[in-house]
Amino acid sequence: MEYLVLSGPVCTPAEPPSGAFILAAGLTGNGYDAGLFDLSLEFFHQTLDHPEIKTAAVENSVQYLLNMKTGYDPMRHRTAAGSLHKQLKQYSNINSGWKLTFMDITSPEHVHDPSALADRLSNGANPFSQLWEERLEPVLNEIKPKHVLISLAYLSQLASTIDLVSFLKQRGIEPIIGGSLPRSLATTGHGLDALHKVLGTIDLSNGASLIPNQNELGFWDRISWPTLVSSLPYLSAHPVVPFTLSTGCYWRRCLFCPDREMPFVKVPESSYTQFLSSIPNDIIERRPIVHLLDSAIPPKRLRQFLPAAREYGVKFYGFARPSEELTRDGLLEDAAEAGLLMLQLGVEGGSDNLLDRFDKGLRAKESAETIRQAAAAGIRTYLYLLFGLPGETSEHRQATLDLIESNSSDVDFMNLSLFNLPKYCELAQRAEEFEIMMGDYPGNEDVIHLYRPFTCGGISPREEARNFIDKSFLTTPSIREAHLRTPRWFRAAHLAMMKLNGRRDP
């Protein structure tokens, strides 16, 4: 094999890790023999099979998540995921205080300090060494890849990636390391130098640098199904397939969004057909669901994707901005007929005044209409709400509550977030104008931080927002119902498969 892409623990085991999958798919589409080995998937199966974790309840829960093809019942899903997560708490007893969830693994200390993590992994209890020896080494010996690539997308993969690099180098393999985490640290965060110290050279491109005479934009022109090295099943009733219609963000307005400065690139329509036609028959037979990875699905690109979705019989979901453009000319009804199961809608808030303050380009009225039309078409609605913005008042927060409560019958799920301030963005550059006082990073310089501590007018908007969410927002009965329906684990991929009255079957 020319290229083997590795993705370390942990990523949620509901679908292939998107960045690693698209990298392997891009290399495959450009004519290389490339494969993806999802070591996080292997890790979770290994963990759930451990004698101190595996129980009859665990086995029943796994089987439910794997086999409920007609759609998950929200309460049964909550019970199954909760049962699994309860048993994962035993992981700390097995591995000296390391804590494991379906979204993260953390050491007892030094979570954001790469050098200290490296020292701990080499000198203390190591939760990854058995995985490398039992699962990775046989694969390396069998396929003998010419190049090994490591995708580091999330902080949850930091510890395992540090140890994985050490394991490979001890075997004479010099991996190429990249991914969205180092790219984020390079553009909006703090700590890239700390990564360099323990990982060595890091490739900050999207993979185009691996292909002669290829540029960043052209990498997306040819994407084909890569070899998936692991034969283990993802914990989903239907295969979830990452794909993207565009990179960057067509919106490019928000003052605090790093994507504002990134180029917006449209994936050619020919790539839709090329990629979907390359999906293996055994995946097609299991009725796959395509996860559109766009920062925000451009309505025009969504319209262009529908014929390909119909031709290959795939269903799909993704993130979108609630806007008038999305609700025009029957687009949502057409998309639902073509297989759109769910929209993750970046509603963010209900105050036009606050949204204008940060150049969001959103309107509460348009959000309400998008929610209504999507639900009427049988599309699941998963609302992303943002609290704790600089200058946010109780009136702004109440406007959000009013928006959601007045549309609660059409709201299926919710993601409640507290605002984080990237180190590099236009809002940070204009901090004084917004009465933002930047705080210092905690700890030493050799740590990783994606966001900057801040206060506004001497107070922490995040703390005020957290208090409002707990005491007012989530105590509103109609809102609490949607919150309780939203599982803590497995999130978007599984939400697209929830069986709900008035929504289309997965």
- CATH number of the structural domain spanning residue 366: 3.20.20.70
- 471 contacts: CB under 8 Å, gap ≥ 6: none
Distance CA 331, CA 474 (A): 32
pLDDT tens per residue across all 506 residues of the chain: 999 999 999 999 999 999 999 999 999 998 999 999 999 999 999 999 999 999 999 999 999 999 999 999 999 999 999 999 999 999 998 988 899 999 999 988 777 889 989 998 988 678 999 999 999 999 999 999 999 999 999 999 999 999 999 999 999 999 999 999 999 888 877 889 999 999 998 998 877 788 877 665 567 788 999 999 999 999 999 999 999 999 888 888 899 987 777 788 899 999 999 999 999 999 999 999 999 999 999 999 999 999 999 999 999 999 999 999 999 999 999 999 999 999 999 999 999 999 999 999 999 999 999 999 999 999 999 999 999 999 999 999 999 999 999 999 999 999 999 999 988 888 988 999 999 998 876 666 678 888 888 999 888 999 999 999 999 999 999 999 999 999 888 889 999 999 999 999 99
Whole-prediction pTM: 0.95
CA distances from 195 to 77, 117, 186, 189, 397 (A): 38, 11, 11, 12, 38
- 471 domain-assigned: yes
Verify that 197 and 274 share a domain, yes or no.
no
Verify that 159 and 293 share a domain, yes or no.
no
- 228 domain-assigned: no
Comparing CA positions, the residue from 198, 166, 162, 114 lying closest to residue 445 is 114
Verify that 262 and 379 share a domain, yes or no.
yes
Domain count, the chain: 2
- 297 domain-assigned: yes
CB atoms within 10 A of CB 158: 25
- 448 domain-assigned: no
Verify that 108 and 257 share a domain, yes or no.
no
**Domain encompassing residue 355:** 238-420+465-495
List 39's β-bridge partners, or say none.
none
Verify that 178 and 138 share a domain, yes or no.
yes
Domain harbouring 159, CATH code: 3.40.50
Verify that 243 and 160 share a domain, yes or no.
no
